[in-house]
Amino acid sequence: VEQEGKRAIGSFEKAIDEFKAVANDKALSDALRSLGFFLRGQSQFADAFQTFQQALELSLESNNYDHALSSLNGIGLTLRDVG
């Protein structure tokens, strides 16, 4: 299971790099949020929190408030999980 998790994270990171390269902020924000939720599910709370913060910053910079709210939700859920 751990190996599968590492492989999944690698796939997310590859997609993130590709979206950065083509400057697709919406897709990049989606990928960051998805990675954040995956990391949260794997109990990697510090990494999830940081990833959600990156998604939030990107969403606010591009005035994408729906994505910003989703990122804030991820931050809140992660903080709740940590206690």
| CB contact at 8 A, 75 and 50 | no
The number of C-alpha atoms within 13 Å of 4 and in the hemisphere containing its C-beta is 3
Residue 51 has pLDDT above 80, yes or no: yes
Q: Which residues lie closer than 8 Å to 22 by C-beta, 6 or more apart? A: none
Answer whether residue 81 shows pLDDT above 70: yes
pLDDT at 2: 86
Please choose, from the candidates 9, 82, 22, 81, the residue with its C-alpha nearest in 3D space to the C-alpha of residue 51: 9
The answer to whether the beta carbons of residues 51 and 13 sit under 8 Å apart is no
pLDDT tens digit sequence for 12-43: 999 999 999 999 888 999 999 999 999 999 99
Count Cβ atoms below 10 Å from residue 43 Cβ, excluding itself. 9
pLDDT at 1 over 80: no
